[in-house]
């Protein structure tokens, strides 16, 4: 039978499933001979049994007893011994870090008797009583569910009576009084006394940690972080060591390299006569790790040796917690350390240069998300700034603009060309127009799944939310800063969506070094050279190609500089706007095919010119051009606006105006659900000549370039195909046009005709469609809309934040591909399409093409390329390589 309890000496770092992250690393450190206070781990299996049975599984109590007994022997102390008690900490530790989500109880083993023994042994009565007081508070709130704030209130009241704000000013009698008060609190709120039996304390604490797996906030956290709900937590029971037993004791946190810059050399903080909690709480000023050398050279030397050993062992930068008790160094925790994006790239390349890891591993060590952060515009390092608040870094970027408090003002100022920051307590669907108009969004309430955060990320707007130090008064149009300053509508602020910082005034913004490098500028920065070396290896490694979504020669050229290997999606919609709008209106209001044909003839040369520029920018690379997709009424004025204009004309007695004529056209084309209307290939079939004109423009442009010595590789893509028959109808037309153009121009035009797969029906009938399509490009935006049955425009603002809070999504399916639902359709279509046509070329041109998690999925299902916006191209190159490396 498997054990429920493992001694730290019995496990290793590979057992995170069973021992949790903390327990596995404690075991690993023990295994490699580091000074870890002894203890044992109760496994996640025990937790799962407990949660399903509603009680401790058989055998657990005995196993705990025998491991406890071994611990007592090792420590030479006994739990609850009145003379010299062993104290233990009881800490949760799940496979995935869930910071602050679950429970910890320290000093388990103290009671009315053993507190005396601890005082004697430590020769420090205040320390002993304070430890007891802390146990009562922690145990009372965590294990016995007494409201935490009640203990805090008693402490505050006592300090008030003593006229101090500092716990350290309380003397032993004060603390003894608190012990008495805390005990009464527990008795009054639970009906029972605080348990004096140390083993009972331990069992109850373990049970409390088990139970903490299923608190509402933990469940929610896991939902949002996509951590499975059925993993359970391990529980680490460890002999207590104390950094707060005088000036020869202390606690510290350190890293084997600088987690901010990635610079080589250790980095950390140390605090004498303190416990770990005190270091983190920041009540007293820590000293740098280097100062420990002068304070306690033996411990310092030992620590440095341990850090070197850990880095060589983990082959990565480590994050370490340690305590020195009376000049004896103890390791309390280690793990691979979190780092900034820049540090990630630098550390990876340093480690390659130090021969710790190879280039493949360096690519694995950095992420597309980190690279993306390095590419956001940022506030100049040297620029002056006045921090007024810090909130959640809800949507990255650096935005500077005038404060506005409502959508109308936001829209009005934005129309004048002003940058504005929309400031609200929190946003709702009513604020959507303002959010669209603003360059940044700032709220004083709400977290990373608040409405503001979700919508801003969806729109790519910089957003800081939950900046609680700010008081937003929309009525008086004031933003009050805690401390007293008041900002008003029109005042300029700067917000950093990457850090969550809010600054008064305009902070200078500049392009990131990395973008300047991608643009071809020589940038002499260690960071840039690290990025360049990693990207070079990524390109050599990856299986999938990376293309870009670009509609103009300028975007195409930039994307090519950023490493794009062609265009995966060139939309043709914008080519129908601007000064061509009148031609399009002619097309739409034409009474007959002759009128339509005339309008199309006028559009042809303009379209051809559009394509010539794009084919030139991508010379030698494939260019996938999608024929027109949106419903025609998008090119006409809004139905409601025209209806209002006509009603007003009627009111004035004018019954035959341009407004009336436009209303006729708009009414004819009005749709209840344009997303589900006459668009895409349907338009191409219903309006004879529309797709033909576009195909001719593309093929003439290609022929002209080829005749001029260029290398044009157009791929014509049909949108919104549901059945192979639709594709056949249009493809026949296109091939006929191609034959004509080849004859007219006397050149052969290498080209392909393929289709978007963006309707569930197309995915389900991919085998049939592949008989006719030379390539598929997954349009995952529409495919997501149709598969879920909601349109991004309509529902993202209306209920995505509710859905994220309720855990229906871990992330918006428009941000990261829903692999469980939409992904199954993609997988089915890719597989059955390839079965029908083995050389079928497969790509994806939805916004998911630039999303790291989605890219890994696309690699797994065997797509040939992903296509994304120019700025995401480097991200996709890197993630494609990481996907290849697995």
Closest distance to a second copy from the beta carbon of 631 (Å): 9
Closest CA to 391 of 500, 298, 286: 500
C-alpha span between 414 and 768 (Å, rounded): 49
53 counts as binding a second copy under rule CB under 8 A: no
SS3 state at 112: coil
Q: Characterize 1-38 residue by residue with b for buried, 16 or more Cβ atoms within 10 angstroms of its Cβ, and e for exposed.
A: eebbbbbbebbebebbebbbbbbbbbbbbbbeebebbb
State the binding string over 677-696 for a second copy (x if CB under 8 A, else -).
xx---x--xx----------
Nearest to a second copy of 349, 666 (CB atom): 666
Closest distance to a second copy from the beta carbon of 233 (Å): 22
Nearest to a second copy of 191, 789 (CB atom): 789
The two tokens of residue 801 are: 């934040």
Query: H or E stretch including 387?
Result: strand 386-390
* Residue selected from 165, 579, 672, 709 as contacting a second copy according to rule CB under 8 A: 672
Nearest to a second copy of 604, 798 (CB atom): 798
Selected range binding a second copy among 14-22, 385-393, 504-512, 754-762, rule: CB under 8 A: 754-762
Q: Which of 47, 318, 350, 451 is catalytic?
A: 451
Tell me the Cα Rg of the chain: 33
The two tokens of residue 490 are: 């029109």
647 counts as binding a second copy under rule CB under 8 A: yes
Selected range binding a second copy among 119-127, 486-494, 551-559, 752-760, rule: CB under 8 A: 752-760
What lies within 8 Å, CB to CB, of 437 at 6+ separation is: 407, 410, 411, 413, 414, 415, 420, 422
Closest distance to a second copy from the beta carbon of 834 (Å): 18
State the binding string over 177-206 for a second copy (x if CB under 8 A, else -).
------------------------------
Nearest to a second copy of 174, 733 (CB atom): 733
Nearest to a second copy of 358, 793 (CB atom): 793
What lies within 8 Å, CB to CB, of 338 at 6+ separation is: 259, 319
Are 523 and 513 contacting, i.e. CB atoms less than 8 angstroms apart?
Answer: yes
Query: What does each C-alpha distance from 363 to 235, 675, 869, 877 come to in angstroms?
Result: 34, 40, 22, 11
746 counts as binding a second copy under rule CB under 8 A: no
* Residue selected from 276, 458, 760, 843 as contacting a second copy according to rule CB under 8 A: 760
Query: What does each C-alpha distance from 467 to 389, 443, 460, 473 come to in angstroms?
Result: 6, 6, 20, 14
Nearest to a second copy of 510, 791 (CB atom): 791
Closest distance to a second copy from the beta carbon of 674 (Å): 7
Neighbours of 636 (CB within 10 A): 21
551 counts as binding a second copy under rule CB under 8 A: no
Query: What does each C-alpha distance from 703 to 554, 707, 754 come to in angstroms?
Result: 21, 6, 19
Closest distance to a second copy from the beta carbon of 596 (Å): 15
Query: Which residues partner with 567 through β-bridges?
Result: 548, 623
Segment 242-281, which members bind a second copy (CB under 8 A)?
Answer: none
What lies within 8 Å, CB to CB, of 56 at 6+ separation is: 46, 49, 50, 203, 207
The two tokens of residue 186 are: 């527990």
Nearest to a second copy of 207, 682 (CB atom): 682
766 counts as binding a second copy under rule CB under 8 A: no
* Residue selected from 51, 61, 459, 729 as contacting a second copy according to rule CB under 8 A: 729
Q: Which of 47, 465, 845, 868 is catalytic?
A: 845
Nearest to a second copy of 566, 833 (CB atom): 833
Are 59 and 128 contacting, i.e. CB atoms less than 8 angstroms apart?
Answer: no
845 is catalytic: yes
Nearest to a second copy of 218, 621 (CB atom): 218
* Residue selected from 55, 187, 488, 668 as contacting a second copy according to rule CB under 8 A: 668
722 counts as binding a second copy under rule CB under 8 A: yes
Closest distance to a second copy from the beta carbon of 410 (Å): 16
* Residue selected from 676, 744, 835, 862 as contacting a second copy according to rule CB under 8 A: 676
State the binding string over 405-444 for a second copy (x if CB under 8 A, else -).
------------------------xx--------------
Closest distance to a second copy from the beta carbon of 841 (Å): 23
Closest distance to a second copy from the beta carbon of 463 (Å): 22
Residue 337 is given by DSSP the state P
Nearest to a second copy of 422, 722 (CB atom): 722
Nearest to a second copy of 656, 820 (CB atom): 820
Q: How many residues bind a second copy (CB under 8 A)?
A: 58
Selected range binding a second copy among 63-71, 378-386, 402-410, 758-766, rule: CB under 8 A: 758-766
736 counts as binding a second copy under rule CB under 8 A: no
Neighbours of 650 (CB within 10 A): 13
Q: Characterize 849-868 residue by residue with b for buried, 16 or more Cβ atoms within 10 angstroms of its Cβ, and e for exposed.
A: bbbbbbbbbbbebebbbbbb
Are 687 and 636 contacting, i.e. CB atoms less than 8 angstroms apart?
Answer: no
Angle, vertex CA 695, rays to CA 693 and CA 700, nearest 5: 95
Are 642 and 662 contacting, i.e. CB atoms less than 8 angstroms apart?
Answer: yes
Nearest to a second copy of 349, 683 (CB atom): 683
Selected range binding a second copy among 49-57, 324-332, 479-487, 642-650, rule: CB under 8 A: 642-650
Closest distance to a second copy from the beta carbon of 503 (Å): 34
Strand pairing report for 318-325 and 328-336: antiparallel
C-alpha span between 878 and 536 (Å, rounded): 9
Closest distance to a second copy from the beta carbon of 763 (Å): 8
C-alpha span between 206 and 37 (Å, rounded): 19
591 counts as binding a second copy under rule CB under 8 A: no
220 counts as binding a second copy under rule CB under 8 A: no
C-alpha span between 629 and 674 (Å, rounded): 11
325 counts as binding a second copy under rule CB under 8 A: no
Query: Which residues partner with 329 through β-bridges?
Result: 324
SS3 for 6-66, per residue?
Answer: EEHHHCCCCCHHHHHHHHHHHHHHHHCCCCCCCEEEECHHHHHHHHHHCCCCCCHHHHHHH
Nearest to a second copy of 246, 799 (CB atom): 799
The two tokens of residue 738 are: 């191609």
764 counts as binding a second copy under rule CB under 8 A: yes
Query: Would you give the distance in Å from CA 478 to the centre of its chain?
Result: 32
C-alpha span between 751 and 769 (Å, rounded): 18
Closest distance to a second copy from the beta carbon of 217 (Å): 17
720 counts as binding a second copy under rule CB under 8 A: yes
Closest distance to a second copy from the beta carbon of 455 (Å): 15
Closest distance to a second copy from the beta carbon of 591 (Å): 12
Number of Cα atoms under 13 Å in the Cβ half of residue 726: 23
SS3 state at 446: coil
Segment 774-833, which members bind a second copy (CB under 8 A)?
Answer: 782, 785-791, 793-795, 798-799, 802-803, 806-808, 818, 820-822, 824-825
Annotated catalytic sites, by residue?
451, 845
Applying CB under 8 A, the residues found at the interface with a second copy are 429-430, 639-640, 643-644, 647-648, 651, 668, 671-678, 682, 685-686, 720, 722-723, 725-726, 729, 758-761, 764-765, 768, 782, 785-791, 793-795, 798-799, 802-803, 806-808, 818, 820-822, 824-825
């Amino acid at each position: 039978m498997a054990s429920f309890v493992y001694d730290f000496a019995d496990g290793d770092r590979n057992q995170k499933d069973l021992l949790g992250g903390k327990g596995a690393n404690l075991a690993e450190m023990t295994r490699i001979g580091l000074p870890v206070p002894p203890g044992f781990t109760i496994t996640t299996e025990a937790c799962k049994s407990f949660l399903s049975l509603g009680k401790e599984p058989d055998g657990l109590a005995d196993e705990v007893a025998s491991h406890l007994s071994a611990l007592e022997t090792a420590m030479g102390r006994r739990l609850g011994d009145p003379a010299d008690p062993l104290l233990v900490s009881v800490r949760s530790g799940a496979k995935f870090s869930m910071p602050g989500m679950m429970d910890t109880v320290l000093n388990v083993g103290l009671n009315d008797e053993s507190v005396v023994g601890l005082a004697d042994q430590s020769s420090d009565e205040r320390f002993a009583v304070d430890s007891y007081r802390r146990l009562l508070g922690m145990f009372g709130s965590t294990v016995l569910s007494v409201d935490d704030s009640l203990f805090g209130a008693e402490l505050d009241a006592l300090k008030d009576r003593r006229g101090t704000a500092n716990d350290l000013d309380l003397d032993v009698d004060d603390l003894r009084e608190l012990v008495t008060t805390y005990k009464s609190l527990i008795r009054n709120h639970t009906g029972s006394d605080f348990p004096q039996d140390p083993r009972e304390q331990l069992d109850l604490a373990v049970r409390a940690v088990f139970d903490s797996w299923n608190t509402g906030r933990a469940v929610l956290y896991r939902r949002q972080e996509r951590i499975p709900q059925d993993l359970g937590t391990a529980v680490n029971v460890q002999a207590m060591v104390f950094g707060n037993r005088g000036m020869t004791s202390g606690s510290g946190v350190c890293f084997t390299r600088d987690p901010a810059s990635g610079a080589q050399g250790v980095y950390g903080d140390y605090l004498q006569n303190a416990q770990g909690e005190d270091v983190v709480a920041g009540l007293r000023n820590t000293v740098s790790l280097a100062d420990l050398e002068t304070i306690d050279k033996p411990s310092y030397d030992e620590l440095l040796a341990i850090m070197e050993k850990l880095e060589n062992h983990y082959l990565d930068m480590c994050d370490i917690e340690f305590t020195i008790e009376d000049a004896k160094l103890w390791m309390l925790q280690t793990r691979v350390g979190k780092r900034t994006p820049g540090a990630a790239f630098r550390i990876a390349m340093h480690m390659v240069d130090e021969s710790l890891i190879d280039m493949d591993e360096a690519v694995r060590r950095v992420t597309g998300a980190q690279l993306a952060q390095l590419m956001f515009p940022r506030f100049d390092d040297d620029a002056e700034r006045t921090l007024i608040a810090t909130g959640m870094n809800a949507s990255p970027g650096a935005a500077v603009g005038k404060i506005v408090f409502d959508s109308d003002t936001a829209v009005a100022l934005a129309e004048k060309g002003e940058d504005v920051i929309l400031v609200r307590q929190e946003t709702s669907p009513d604020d959507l127009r303002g959010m669209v108009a603003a360059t940044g969004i700032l709220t004083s309430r709400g977290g990373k799944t608040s409405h503001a955060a979700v919508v801003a990320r969806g729109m790519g707007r910089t957003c800081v939310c939950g900046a609680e130090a700010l008081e937003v008064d929309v009525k008086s149009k004031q933003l009050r800063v805690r401390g007293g300053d008041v900002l008003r509508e029109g005042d300029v602020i700067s917000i950093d969506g990457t850090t969550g910082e809010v600054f008064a005034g305009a902070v200078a913004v500049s392009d990131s070094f990395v973008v300047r490098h991608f643009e071809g500028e020589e940038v002499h920065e260690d960071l840039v050279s690290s990025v360049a070396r990693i990207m070079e290896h990524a390109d050599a490694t990856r299986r999938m190609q990376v293309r870009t979504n670009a509609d103009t020669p300028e975007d195409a050229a930039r994307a090519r500089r950023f490493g794009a290997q062609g265009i995966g999606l060139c939309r043709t919609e914008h080519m129908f706007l601007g000064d061509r709008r009148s031609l399009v209106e002619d097309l739409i209001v034409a009474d007959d095919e002759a009128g339509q044909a005339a309008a199309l003839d006028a559009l042809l040369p303009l379209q051809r010119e559009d394509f010539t520029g794009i084919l030139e920018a991508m010379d030698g690379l494939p260019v996938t051009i999608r024929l027109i997709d949106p419903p025609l009424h998008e090119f006409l004025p809004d139905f409601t606006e025209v209806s209002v204009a006509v009603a007003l004309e009627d009111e004035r007695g004018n019954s035959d105006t341009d407004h009336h004529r436009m209303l006729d056209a708009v009414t004819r084309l009005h749709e209840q659900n344009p997303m589900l209307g006459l668009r895409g290939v349907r338009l191409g079939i219903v309006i004879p000549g529309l797709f033909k004109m576009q195909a001719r423009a593309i093929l003439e442009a290609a022929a002209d370039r080829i005749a001029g010595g260029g290398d044009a590789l157009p791929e014509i893509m049909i949108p919104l195909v549901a059945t192979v028959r639709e594709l056949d109808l249009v493809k026949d037309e296109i091939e006929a046009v191609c034959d004509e153009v080849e004859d007219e121009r006397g050149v052969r035009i290498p080209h392909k005709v393929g289709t978007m797969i963006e309707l569930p029906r197309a995915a389900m009938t991919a085998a049939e469609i592949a008989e006719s399509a030379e390539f598929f490009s997954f349009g995952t935006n529409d495919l997501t809309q149709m598969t879920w049955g909601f349109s991004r425009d309509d529902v993202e603002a209306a209920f995505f934040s509710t859905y994220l809070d309720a855990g229906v999504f871990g992330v918006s399916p428009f941000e990261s591909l829903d692999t469980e639902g939409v992904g199954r359709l993609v997988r089915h279509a890719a597989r059955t399409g390839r079965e029908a046509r083995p050389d079928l070329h497969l790509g994806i041109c939805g916004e998911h093409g630039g999303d790291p998690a989605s890219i890994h999925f696309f690699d797994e299902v065997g797509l040939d390329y992903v296509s994304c916006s120019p700025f995401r191209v480097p991200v996709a190159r890197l993630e494609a390589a990481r996907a290849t490396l697995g």
